[in-house]
Amino acid sequence: MRVLFRVRGSNAIMCGIVGYVGPRPARELLLGGLARLEYRGYDSAGLAIGQNGALRSVRQVGKIADLAAVVDDGSESFPGSYGVGHTRWATHGAPTTPNAHPHFDCTGEVAIVHNGIIENWVELKAWLEGRGHGFASDTDTEVAAHLIEEMSTLPLAQAVAEVLSRCEGALALAVIRRSDPGLVVGGRKGSPLVIGRGSGENFLASDIPAFIAHTRRMMVVPEDRVVEVRSDSVRITDLSGVEQEPEEQDVEWDMEAAEKGGYPTFMLKEIYEQPQAVAETLLGRIGPTGEPMLDGTGLNAEVAKDVDKVFVVACGTSYHAGMMAKYALERWAKIPVEVDLSSEFRYRDPVLNPRSLVIGISQSGETADTLGAVRYARGQGAKVAAVTNVVGSSLAREAHIVLQTRAGPEIGVAASKTFIAQMALLQLLGLHMAIERGVMTTAQASGPVNALRSLPDRLEEVLELSDEMLELANRWRDVRDFFFLGRSVDYPAALEGALKLKELAYVRAEGYAAGEMKHGPIALIEPGVVVFGVATDRRLRSKMFSNLSEMKARGGTVVTLVGEEDVGEAAVTSDLVIPLPEDAALIGAVLAVVPLQLFSYHLATIKGLNVDQPRNLAKTVTVE
Ligand code: AGP
């Protein structure tokens, strides 16, 4: 059956998994498969290979080439025709060799690799330690190896099914056991797992590129399923052991398309990964009664209560996230917040003290301007918090408090999913601080918390606007003058919309506070100028609509992004209205950014520009 295999809203995959069973040397197939998954970024790698009842493994921080130098040294020290391999994008535990996968049980009988997050790993680890298990790493994954050890008398597939049942969160597992030669068992619960069907050999992987060079026959492992992979058979069962009829498909992608999950570019893939990036960032951070949970970040109740002022320092898109954070922290936690461009912060002699909290926001965690700002803050005795997407980054290492977004590696130079993940985490921080400081009860915070919970679904809805934004990009492909206007929390959303148009489509665009236009910039409005108005904050809609009518009155073409309930009113002062899901608790401004991302993406694509690596830009700006 010919199917163009398209993964919509595919998982924000953080790690790479490869499994192989067949007649060929497993080390070659595993290393080759891991190399095909390199594009997503990782900090360590490893593999385990079975041969005649023995398991051999190697893992280390660094690149696949370093691993190959050890494994493929010609000494045949890694014989064996079945095994598992892994590239790790650290989420729990720093990027060190002991934290690299595979992980093992106490006896070395079981080798396991994992993609995702085991939410309840702390209590499972405590239970296992109580039963005498010793741990060699501080990862969530190792817990699964010891759980399988507890079930050493069960068939491996049944033990893996039990692990999926007991672990909460997102798991894709691949496991081998010394006493089960020629068998790789996989398990899927919330993280992707696919099978490559070869002739006399089979593959298991977190993503298609790992095996597409060897076979185009593939199967998707469904949710809550276990798969037994042997060289001549693949058997899928549900968690109670009932066999499931797998559906084989042909992959139509070439290698390059496969690395992008079927999307034409990493940028578009990452725009569509935004729902999953938010879901994974919030995973395990909202308790059963709706309370924000930031355990393990260093932000304890004492610090939360003691802070008397917050300073946010960031650059570019992260700066816009910081501006939005100001609204959350001041509105909910009643803490005064100042937001600075990192490159300006330390030159204005900010007044800091030990009760100051300086939050550095940086997806890379390596931006020199932001590192300089937080180092200055530490020197002034302030507490420093990091909001970053890279575990073990310089910013994370130099902060007292680390709030990790879990958007997965972001390959596109222009930020998308890391920004949305920052927004979600910063709003959760605002609610957490409000509750810790006694300004809000958990019950009073339930509205904004539920709005955050629904954010992934709302993001899926606004992604449906892509065709409309493509139509506008075609209509305005020759326009050279754009304004993006907003008030309150919609103002940073407008700034981000303008930045995306500049950096992706190389078009001059100004983000401006809508109320400020009449103090000068309105002189630029004339026929041919396109004005995007972000008007999701319902309290200010009438002021916003009157600002936009001033633009329209002077010949500007006005496009208003507004909650569905205000579409009729907005239509009076707009040439076009883009409806968004109802705003709830600052979520509207976050949602408004997505159609603006898509507009800039489509305009850049129409112009034939490289949306993954725009000219003059770097993914990490390590110079001041
Ligand atoms: C993002 O689209 C921009 N390319 C850029 O402004 C970026 O946001 C800025 O350089 C900050 O990067 P950081 O989040 O890694 O610190």
Give the pLDDT band (50/70/90) at residue 9.
very low
- Label residues 272-296 b or e (16+ Cβ within 10 Å = b): bbbbbbbbbbbbbbbeeebbbebee
Tokens read off for 105: 């049980």
Are 279 and 383 within 8 A, CB to CB? no
Q: Which H, E and C letters describe 283-302, residue by residue? A: CCCECCCCCECCCCCCCCHH
Are 430 and 288 within 8 A, CB to CB? no
Give the pLDDT band (50/70/90) at residue 119.
confident
Residue whose CA is at the smallest distance from ligand 1 atom 16 = 362
Ligand 1 centroid – CA 317 distance (Å):
5
- Answer yes or no: is the C-beta of 427 below 6 A from any ligand 1 atom: no
Q: What is the pLDDT of residue 624?
A: 72
Measured distance CA(511)–CA(522) in Å, rounded: 13
- Answer yes or no: is the C-beta of 99 below 6 A from any ligand 1 atom: no
CA-based torsion, 120, 124, 127, 132: positive or negative: negative
Give the pLDDT band (50/70/90) at residue 444.
very high
Measured distance CA(370)–CA(298) in Å, rounded: 20
How far CA 77 is from CA of 134, 209, 286, 441, 503, in Å, comes to: 28, 27, 47, 60, 49
Which range of 33-42, 67-76, 100-109, 614-623 scores highest in mean pLDDT? It is 100-109
DSSP-derived 3-state class of residue 480: coil
Ligand 1 pocket: which of 323, 339, 363, 617 to mutate (most atoms within 8 A of CB): 363
How far CA 360 is from CA of 93, 301, 393, 396, in Å, comes to: 21, 20, 12, 9
Ligand 1 centroid – CA 320 distance (Å):
10
Give the pLDDT band (50/70/90) at residue 5.
very low
Using one digit for the tens of pLDDT, what is the confidence trace for 156-169? Answer: 999 999 999 999 98
Asked which of 86-100, 195-209, 483-497, 547-561 is least confident by mean pLDDT, the reply is 86-100
Tokens read off for 469: 């934004």
Residues with active-site annotation: 15, 619
DSSP-derived 3-state class of residue 76: coil
pLDDT higher than 80, residue 460? yes
Q: Whose structure tokens read 């507890």?
A: 150
Tokens read off for 502: 């500049």
- Answer yes or no: is the C-beta of 416 below 6 A from any ligand 1 atom: no
Measured distance CA(415)–CA(148) in Å, rounded: 39
* Other beta carbons less than 10 A from residue 385's beta carbon: 26
- Answer yes or no: is the C-beta of 415 below 6 A from any ligand 1 atom: yes
Phi/psi class of residue 572: alpha, beta or left (left: φ > 0; alpha: ψ in -120 to 50)?
A: alpha
Asked which of 489-498, 563-572, 592-601 is least confident by mean pLDDT, the reply is 563-572
The alpha carbon of residue 133 and the mean position of all alpha carbons in its chain are separated, in whole angstroms, by: 33
Measured distance CA(206)–CA(188) in Å, rounded: 10
Find the mean pLDDT for residues 197-222: 92
pLDDT higher than 60, residue 6? no
DSSP-derived 3-state class of residue 17: strand
Nearest to 595, CA basis, from 555, 559, 547: 559
Instruction: Annotate 123-140 with DSSP letters as a single string.
Output: HHHHHHHHTT---S-S-S
Residue whose CA is at the smallest distance from ligand 1 atom 4 = 414
Are 572 and 520 within 8 A, CB to CB? no
pLDDT above 90 as % of the chain = 74
Find the mean pLDDT for residues 501-528: 95
Measured distance CA(446)–CA(440) in Å, rounded: 10
pLDDT higher than 80, residue 249? yes
Measured distance CA(427)–CA(453) in Å, rounded: 11
Ligand 1 centroid – CA 209 distance (Å):
28
Q: In what order do the strands lie in the sheet with 217-220?
A: 2-3, 249-251, 217-220, 194-197, 202-205, 16-21, 82-88, 44-51, 54-61
Give the pLDDT band (50/70/90) at residue 484.
very high
Indicate the average pLDDT of the chain: 91
Asked which of 89-103, 271-285, 390-404, 417-431 is least confident by mean pLDDT, the reply is 89-103
Q: What pTM, to 2 d.p., does this model score? A: 0.77
- Label residues 187-205 b or e (16+ Cβ within 10 Å = b): bbbbbbbbbbbbeebbbbb
Find the mean pLDDT for residues 440-457: 94
Using one digit for the tens of pLDDT, what is the confidence trace for 314-369? Answer: 999 999 999 999 999 999 999 999 999 999 999 999 999 999 999 999 998 988 89
Ligand 1 pocket: which of 312, 367, 425, 496 to mutate (most atoms within 8 A of CB): 367
Q: What is the pLDDT of residue 190?
A: 81
Kindly give the residue spans of alpha helices, DSSP state H, lying in 415-489. 417-436, 446-463, 466-475
Q: What is the pLDDT of residue 14?
A: 60
Give the pLDDT band (50/70/90) at residue 622.
low
Measured distance CA(395)–CA(364) in Å, rounded: 8
Asked which of 187-191, 226-230, 247-251 is least confident by mean pLDDT, the reply is 247-251
pLDDT higher than 70, residue 529? yes
Using one digit for the tens of pLDDT, what is the confidence trace for 273-318? Answer: 999 999 999 998 999 889 999 988 999 899 999 999 999 999 999 9
